[in-house]
Amino acid sequence: MQGVAVPFSSAVAPVAVLCAALLATVAHAGPGVPADPLASPQWPAMQQRFFRDATVVFDDLVEVTLPPAAEDSMQVPVSARVRSGTAVDMLIAFIDFNPIPKVLEYRPLDAEPYLGFRVRVQQATPIRVAARTADGVWHVGGAWVDAAGGGCTLPSANAAKVREEDIGHVAARRWPLDGIGSRVKLRIAHPNDTGLISGTPAFFVEALDFTAADGRRLAELRSFEPVAESPVFVLELHTDGPVRIAGHDNTAGRIAGEAP
């Protein structure tokens, strides 16, 4: 069997790495489904759900960084970077063992294929990011995170602090990035409820568009229930001027701001 490799965070626990190496040979779901280096029994379902008949490979194109263990299962930091010089038209993030696996879709239209974000995790699970190259191939990277659990189904201690009149407010900053343009970090005031808590409907940031001052569309982001409350995103955009941010949540509530 031909070996496959997937980038791990340098902080991934050695035990998890060893288990993945030992079990990868049995993580097949059948013809056409690549063996999973993370040895997740959920991989065949993820492959069918997100990629279907598309070609999928595990390689070092996508570097996914996350902690080996979640200090807070409702706020797990993740970053993903595609190897320099590689053009991709979309990134997707998903979490194998979450009750709602899909985290986000990101289109770097005039931007670097890099994204930082925070997620909820329900239990120990692989977190993965896949990037689609021009030939239609999906390149998958990821790592395991250990978690006490309940991040998707526990009530938030902070959601009540988001005043109704502040929902959708964007706080953003921009820093020059040599040779690229700008790094933008934004935080959105929003409870981002998953809908998995009894009596609390799903209420989350759904779409964000990023535009340069000259009108160029820089990036599109579509997010889903597993994104953490008061969502934080970090992007690298091809502009050295202000960035306009506009979008909506799943109830059509307006989201707007600027990174000056």
Kindly list the structural domains of the chain, giving each domain's residue range(s) and its CATH number in brackets, ordered by start. 60-260 (2.60.40.2470)
User: What separation in angstroms does the CA of 174 have from each of 82, 140, 228, 243, 259?
Assistant: 21, 29, 22, 8, 6
Beta bridge partners of 205: 249
- Helix ranges, 86-233 (H): none
**Distance in angstroms (rounded) separating the CA atoms of residues 113 and 87:** 8
The pLDDT tens digits along the chain (260 residues) read 333 333 333 333 333 333 333 333 333 444 567 799 999 999 999 999 999 999 999 999 999 999 999 889 889 999 999 998 899 999 999 999 999 999 999 999 999 999 999 999 989 999 999 999 999 999 999 999 998 876 676 666 655 566 777 899 999 999 999 999 999 999 999 999 888 888 889 999 999 999 999 999 999 999 999 999 999 999 999 999 999 999 999 999 999 999 99
Q: What is the DSSP string of 32-61?
A: T-PPPTT--TTHHHHHHHHTTTS-EEESSS
